[in-house]
Amino acid sequence: MRDDAHFVARCARGLEPQLAAEILQLELGGVTAVGHRTVRFRAWRPYDPGVTELRTADDVFLLAAADRETGTGTGRSTLSALHRLATRTNPEQLLRHRDALLPHPTGRTAGVEVSASLLGRRRFNRYDAEDAVGHALAARLGVPYHPRRTEGAPPPGYAAWRLTLDGTGATLLLRITPRPLHRRPYKQRSVPGTLHPPLAAAMTTLADIGPGHTVLDPCCGAGTLLIEAALAHPEAAHYRGYDIARTALEAARANKKEAATDHIRVHRGDAGRLPLASATVDRVVCNPPWGTQVDPRARLAESPAAWWRELRRVLTPTGSAVVLLPTPAPLAEALRSGLLPTHIQRVHLAGTPTYLVKLIPTPGQSPPPGPTPPPAPGHLGDRTPRPTAQSHNPATAGHSSRSRFLRGLNN
């Protein structure tokens, strides 16, 4: 058994601070380095299965080998160095450690597969690097090597190794879980514009959800934000979601059932005219249609600024909002609606920048007037307004109407 272990967790670009904080809060180990989409940490308890439960990580690996000189070369001689690097590892010990971290160990490894990522220009491609490492590991273990160059995805039971060459060195990693952490088991259904689960987890952490809070997602889509919030903060009193699309509500109900979060309630509703009394929501987490993947509908299509006014209206005086924006420009309308940004952070998803923003009701400023329809039976509209805290989260949606929608947010 190993008495020392180094791990590498990967995340979306821009979420490295949240991931490092989660590692420390869970007391998984000491953070030794924070880099491009990666956080390295030395485990305080080498066999703590908590490393496989990181919510803000895309994936987590055991560190197999790292070499600064090997990864800086650009010529084909680097391939021989990569082969030697893999040969010097102890894959049997790493696989035993991996199995000790899993609730259901995979047993004997059926084979080896390698996925490589290269930054910078080189005289070889990723498949060359994968083959150099893969053949060495397969020879050490006495199992087949599955080349991605010609055979695509590997068959079940193959150990997943990852090689990174980032210009500062070479790093060889062994994935711990059978599939990446960002592929949540509960997410059986999806819809256009659905949110990346680790980003949703980071947003719910920033929302600071507490006991007794009412948490709202007025554009809930497939339910990702509400599910991530409910799994991390079961102590909240109410989780409510609305969406205008029936297909989204069907997906949300299926996913929340799979996640065993039956205390989440979702209803059909217009995010621009919510059936809720004013100042009755403590936290808002949301990924609304900003006109990039999903068209805004109902009142949001007619008046995009209604989004901010409704958000301010339903939040309690001590509330907060965590939102995703395609650009910071829509914050002008948020300010006019009585919401003050306190945190702005750029993150990248699939190479596209987006902005994680936290807002609070502007101190001393009353919410804008905005009568809403009577609340439907069973909703929260019959509650007496009270002072509490809130949080909100918009994301992306739509295609042809994007320019018109964003113009409306700023006018």
The domain that holds 36 is classified in CATH as 3.30.2130.30
Closest CA to 42 of 70, 81, 5: 5
Shared domain for 102 and 156, answered yes or no, is yes
Which domain range does residue 24 map to? Answer: 6-175
**Residue 409, token pair as written in the block:** 């947010």
β-sheet bridge partners, residue 216: 240, 284
Shared domain for 20 and 140, answered yes or no, is yes
Say what the pTM is. Answer: 0.85
The answer to whether 204 and 233 have CB atoms below 8 angstroms apart is yes
Shared domain for 159 and 202, answered yes or no, is no
Question: How confident is the model over 50-89, as pLDDT tens digits?
Answer: 999 999 999 999 999 999 877 677 889 999 999 999 999 9
Q: Mapping DSSP to helix (H, G, I), strand (E, B) and coil, where does residue 17 land?
A: helix
pLDDT for res 302: 54
The answer to whether 154 and 103 have CB atoms below 8 angstroms apart is no
Shared domain for 154 and 221, answered yes or no, is no
Shared domain for 75 and 122, answered yes or no, is yes
Shared domain for 153 and 204, answered yes or no, is no
Shared domain for 215 and 267, answered yes or no, is yes
Q: How many CA atoms lie within 13 A of 133 on its CB side?
A: 33
Stronger pLDDT, 369 or 205, i.e. the higher one: 205
- Domain final residue, candidates 143, 175, 207: 175
Shared domain for 350 and 217, answered yes or no, is yes
Instruction: Provide, rounded to the nearest whole percent, the portion of the chain with pLDDT above 90.
Output: 68
Shared domain for 226 and 350, answered yes or no, is yes
Shared domain for 216 and 314, answered yes or no, is yes
The answer to whether 388 and 280 have CB atoms below 8 angstroms apart is no
Distances in Å between the alpha carbon of 177 and those of 78, 103, 137, 325? 29, 10, 19, 32
**Residue 411, token pair as written in the block:** 């006018």
Shared domain for 222 and 104, answered yes or no, is no
- Structural element, H or E, at residue 337: none
- Residue 86 included in any domain: yes
Residue 370 scores a pLDDT above 60 = no
The answer to whether 176 and 60 have CB atoms below 8 angstroms apart is yes
Q: What does the alpha-carbon distance between residue 94 and residue 45 come to, in Å, rounded to a whole number? A: 16
Q: How many domains does the chain have?
A: 2
Distances in Å between the alpha carbon of 263 and those of 191, 205, 370, 400? 22, 19, 29, 36
Question: How confident is the model over 312-350, as pLDDT tens digits?
Answer: 999 999 999 999 988 898 899 999 999 999 999 999 988
Shared domain for 210 and 164, answered yes or no, is no
